[in-house]
Amino acid sequence: MFVPLVEYHGGGKAATIEPLKDHLPHYEQRLANLFGAGVQACYRGPQLYDSPQTKEVVEKWVDFYKQHREVLDADIVHIRRPDGRDYDGFLHVNPKGSDKGLIMLYNPLEVPVTKTISVNLYYTGLSQKAYLETDKGDVLELRLNRDYTVDLPIKIPARGQQWFVIR
3-state SS string over the chain?
Answer: CEEECCCCCCCHHHHCCCCHHHHHHHHHHHHHHHHHCCCCCEEECCCCCCCHHHHHHHHHHHHHHHHHHHHHCCEEEEEECCCCCCCEEEEEECCCCCCCEEEEEECCCCCCEEEEEEEECHHHCCCCEEEEEECCCCEEEEECCCCCEEEEEEEECCCCEEEEEEC
Q: Does pLDDT of 7 surpass 90?
A: no
pTM: 0.91
So where are the chain's domains? 2-70, 74-166
Q: Are 96 and 124 in contact (CB under 8 A)?
A: no
As a whole-number percent, the residues of the chain with pLDDT over 90 amount to 83
Class for domain 74-166, per CATH? mainly beta
Read off the pLDDT of residues 73-117 as tens digits, 9 standing for 90 and up.
Answer: 999 999 998 999 999 999 999 999 999 999 999 999 999 999 999
Round to whole Å and give the CA distance between 68 and 49: 23
